[in-house]
Structure 1
């Protein structure tokens, strides 16, 4: 009898697809080395966006990103109350609204509150989700803890970001203000 072993893939803490259509966005907590085979073999990422307060990443994580040619973006966020947080959310939206960055993994330390804010904004602005649906998803991933300020921030967040229409992924339901004249 020949015994074969399948590779065992372990996704990062709190891993879940956010969008899986023509392009894919995933959410999770901070990837650990035991998650790297899953990320490499199952997700084929082009971009990772870290929403968090850690300034440095480990050598092992840095080497993994380099070996896999994954573009890494750190958007500092301690909480949705940070000074300048609206600008940082616009940085995230710029990355998410460029189809050239897909597939994308957005992670924070535990994949709950910070990523919940980002995903809530994506759901609200790009997918047209109802506030009730956004709150429900946020509560599922956060375990129902904390979040009043986060949910208020998601509800109140607006942007006047100008994006080239030919870079926007198909899942995004965009009304305005998109600049149709840009030829990127």
Structure 2
């Protein structure tokens, strides 16, 4: 999926605008202390240049300035708070308002087209860095981020895990059903890539990256550098080898203090990056391929020590060792539910055999079960709509 890129001229103008705003005294609106950097409620990094949170307060403005935001995607129907709007105007941050009603179960009507329009703004790199937020950063923000994860080819189990991380006890089944049924096909259309010669010429014109800074299309620096990714995994490996388990968030923060190029992160951002690295490793395992690029191979080898058995994906595919039940559940969640039901009736009989299953067959069965469940859910939704129509007709007759 190709994202729209800002032109060098546009990026230069925006940089000059940001500098002018700071010179004009933008820091005067950020209270209460020049040293205090307080992130908004439920703040986290979604991906390079994309963040999420609840509604920022005045105490969070200085932190938002550190992100060099270009845009904010606001998901509540109410007008943007006046104080926040003044801050955006002074900082040169563009507001994209997509009003979604904050309804509770069982009466929930999530506007799919509004979500789709918000995602178009989020996918446009010219709007990055960008913050997505509603009131508390749980349900409406969770649905938008969940649909974005589907575009990024995340497994549904991982999408739901992230949603639950923020929604916690307030998680809604209707939100999860919406994310599962959300159709991403219309957002996957991309313009054809430029001719190879034009791409090569553009690469020649780019200045060489500075030490510790990774390249990214469009000239926008990555939030996490390639060195950061290696340092995070090395810290996880060191802790696991010493203690036998992965570190708690606070312990990982302490181990990485002063070692990362990215300075504007907290515990949640670090956890999110850790989850992204694990997902990248799981995708490589699923494909049965060992990366060939030097950096990707380094990440793969470190991830294999942390989350794998220490053997390569090719060795597992050749049958040298079956995958663990937990790994199979991560790779094939729908098929895993069926295996769990069988295991409940016949304990100890199916778990190990599940790990020996051929990848192509397991993938095909997992897809088949998912489609079957989607059909069942759509039938249930239509049945519910029909019941509502019957009730409405009867009530009108009573009136």
Name structure 1 gaps, 5 residues minimum: 172-184
Pairs aligned (count): 158
Name structure 2 gaps, 5 residues minimum: 1-32, 194-215, 223-399
Are 2:125 and 1:99 equivalent residues in the alignment?
yes
How far 1:51 moved relative to its partner? 0.9
Which residue of the partner structure matches residue 82 of structure 1?
A: 109
How far 1:163 moved relative to its partner? 4.5
Which residue of the partner structure matches residue 158 of structure 2?
A: 133
Which residue of the partner structure matches residue 61 of structure 2?
A: 36
Q: Where do residues 28-177 of structure 1 align in structure 2 (5 Å cutoff)?
A: 28-40=53-65, 42-54=66-78, 56-79=79-102, 81-82=108-109, 85-125=111-151, 127-159=152-184, 160-161=186-187, 162-164=189-191
Deviations 1:44-99 (A, max 9, x none): 00000011132x1222111100001101011011158437x121011111101211
Whose Rg is larger?
Answer: 2
Between structures 1 and 2, the one with greater helix share:
2
Question: Does the residue aligned with 1:143 lie in a helix, a strand or coil?
Answer: helix
Which residue of the partner structure matches residue 11 of structure 1?
A: 39
Q: What is the rounded CA distance, in whole Å, between the counterparts of 1:91 and 1:102 in structure 2?
A: 16
Deviations 1:137-183 (A, max 9, x none): 101100132310000000000042445467xx969xxxxxxxxxxxx
Contact 1:117–1:150, Cα closer than 8 Å, also in 2:
yes
Between structures 1 and 2, the one with greater strand share:
1
Question: Does the residue aligned with 1:61 lie in a helix, a strand or coil?
Answer: helix
Cα RMSD for the two superposed structures: 2.2
Which residue of the partner structure matches residue 179 of structure 1?
A: none
Q: What is the rounded CA distance, in whole Å, between the counterparts of 1:131 and 1:76 in structure 2?
A: 26
Q: What is the rounded CA distance, in whole Å, between the counterparts of 2:89 and 2:96 in structure 1?
A: 13
How far 1:16 moved relative to its partner? 0.2
Deviates more, 1:70-79 or 1:9-18: 70-79
Contact 1:53–1:78, Cα closer than 8 Å, also in 2:
yes
Question: Structure 1's 78 and 104: CA in aligned 2 closer, same or farther, altered over 3 A?
Answer: same
Normalised TM-score (structure 1): 0.79
Contact 1:52–1:77, Cα closer than 8 Å, also in 2:
yes
Q: What is the rounded CA distance, in whole Å, between the counterparts of 2:135 and 2:51 in structure 1?
A: 14
